[in-house]
Amino acid sequence: MAHLRPFKGIRYNQEISGDLTKNVCPPFDSISEALQEKLYKISEYNTVRLELGIRSMYEDPYFSAAEIQNSWLKNEVLTQDDSPSIYVTEEEFKFGDQVITRKGFICAIKVEEYKNKVVIPHEKTREEWVEDRQKLMEVAKSNYSPLLCLYEDDSRETIANLVKSISGKKPYIDIEPDYLQKIKVWRVTDKGTISLITNNFNKSKIYIADGHHRYEAGLRYLSKINKYRTIEENESINYRMIQLISMNEPGLVTRSYHRYIKSDKNISKYIKEIISDKNISSIEKNIVLEDTKFLRSFYKSIIENNNQISFGIIIKEGSEINLYSYSNNNTSKNNDYSFLHDEFLQEKFNNNFEDNISFETDLDEINNQLQINDKIIVFIMRPIPMKDFVKTVQSGEVLPPKVTNFLPKPPAGLVFQSLEGEL
């Protein structure tokens, strides 16, 4: 059973911190170096200083996050709510030509081992990212961004209707940062309302949509503390801040997570292996890099492909850039990402690709990588449809890292969770 709880959130005191629009940021794994620098300039109180401080500025970025946070608390830039709360959210964003609204709520969930089959993962993680989040958690003793989690809305229209009714009132947060989605937040403190929400999940499974590294960091941190003292049930350290969204929510959108490989001594060999594959078709030779127009056109052609397995490949070697497509209807794999990692790359690269593979959602950044690298292999991926994602998580299949890219990710800075004391 899923144990959901309200918690005493830590929030910005806008009378001192200024407009919250300037102080929220994306979660750590969505912050590029350019955006990181921009956020630092926007406000001296931007959450990026806690969530992902500029490494070169501090000898110990984790200790600096703790110092900054404590300073903000001391000077009342941040204040903690006086009673446990649930925070109802409404996010509005553009996707193509559509304006989409997504409703959910932020609460705390008891950290459970995966083997208990209460909190369900679907992606593999990378060790260095888990370690990074664990270090931040241990030193700063806070969570700054909620995980994005999903639940099956089979008989829980009560929850959907309740969230809808709450979001019809005046929010205490109503912001529209130019680098994030439009966000509204309502604080719920009524014990009856909170119980109505949390009790509905007593028999539920919670599926991690985004935040596997942060959740595993929480598991490891809890295990570490358990070794030298008994942790009481109501301690905040037992719980992790999450944003819960119904799987039936129409505002759930997934984007592609593209891959690229560069800076490998064997990359010329890998290129030859790839282009000799019988399922590879040449699309266009000697592309001229000027803007992302060709990338967007290429991406569109890939997502419109109806083959069971399909992805695009861009190969740059020297000044020559060539486009290819891969199509295969004869495989046991049911999605492009598992096939790419477990069969295609494994066959051609053996185990050598894992340390060199990078992930990117933005085609502009892909174009930038093509500009600056002499030799690079780019895999242009289709998004996983929601119905396939639901089937995957329900089956217990574990996907490669960075497969699902739900849009948008819940920002860091709306509310923090302290890991000290009780919820």
User: Domain check: are 219 and 342 in the same one?
Assistant: no
Mean pLDDT (whole number) for 260-270: 81
Specify the CATH number for the domain of residue 99. Answer: 3.90.1530.10
Domain annotation covers residue 136: yes
Q: Calculate what percentage of the chain has a pLDDT beyond 90.
A: 55
Beta bridge partners of 312: 325, 380
Are 291 and 241 part of one and the same domain? no
- Asked, for residue 76, whether it belongs to a domain, the answer is yes
Same domain, residue pair 134 and 17 = yes
pLDDT for the residue numbered 69: 97
In a domain, 17, yes or no: yes
- Domain membership of residue 423 (yes or no) is no
| pLDDT at residue 291, rounded to an integer | 66
333/240 same-domain check: no
**pLDDT (tens digit per residue) in 156-189:** 566 777 777 887 788 999 999 988 999 999 999 9
**pLDDT higher than 80, residue 266:** no
User: What is the average pLDDT across 138-142?
Assistant: 96
The answer on 270 and 359 residing in a single domain is yes
Residues 182 and 143 occupy one common structural domain: yes
Check whether residue 158 and residue 297 sit in a common domain. no
Residue 387 maps to a domain: no
Structural domains of the chain, count: 2
As beta bridge partners, residue 186 has 88
Which of 141-150, 192-201, 311-320, 384-393 is least confident?
384-393
On whether residue 400 sits in a domain, the answer given is no
Nearest-angstrom CA–CA distance, 116 and 224: 19
Span 19-39, pLDDT tens digits: 999 999 999 988 988 899 999
The tens digit of pLDDT for each residue in 353-373 reads: 677 888 998 898 899 899 899
Claim to verify: residue 271 and residue 244 sit in the same structural domain = no
Amino acid (one-letter) located at 256: S
Q: Is the pLDDT of residue 265 over 80?
A: no
Same domain, 233 and 323: no
The strand pair at 417-418 and 309-317 is best described as: unpaired
- Which of 187, 178, 161, 184 is CA-nearest to residue 80? 187
Residue 155, φ and ψ in degrees, nearest 5: -130, 30
Residue 349 has pLDDT above 70, yes or no: yes
Residue 352, pLDDT score: 63
Decide which of 308 and 46 is more confident: 46
Phi, psi of 150 (to 5 degrees): -120, 155
pLDDT in tens, 37-75: 999 999 999 999 999 999 888 888 999 999 999 999 999
pLDDT at 330: 76
The structure tokens listed for 336 are: 């492009």
- Is residue 90 within 8 Å of 100, Cβ to Cβ? no
**Which backbone phi and psi does 122 adopt, to 5 degrees?**
-145, 0
Contact 68, 50 (CB under 8 A): yes
Q: Is residue 168 part of a domain?
A: yes
Q: Are 331 and 224 in contact (CB under 8 A)?
A: no
The residue behind tokens 């969570």 is: 143
- Same domain for 215 and 270, yes or no, is no
Are 332 and 375 members of one domain?
A: yes
Contact status, residue 140 vs residue 268, Cβ threshold 8 Å: no
Structural domain of residue 82, as residue ranges? 4-253+406-418
Identify whether 398 is part of a domain. no
174 and 289 belong to one structural domain: no
User: What pLDDT does residue 158 have?
Assistant: 65
- The answer to whether the CB of 58 falls within 8 A of the CB of 64 is yes
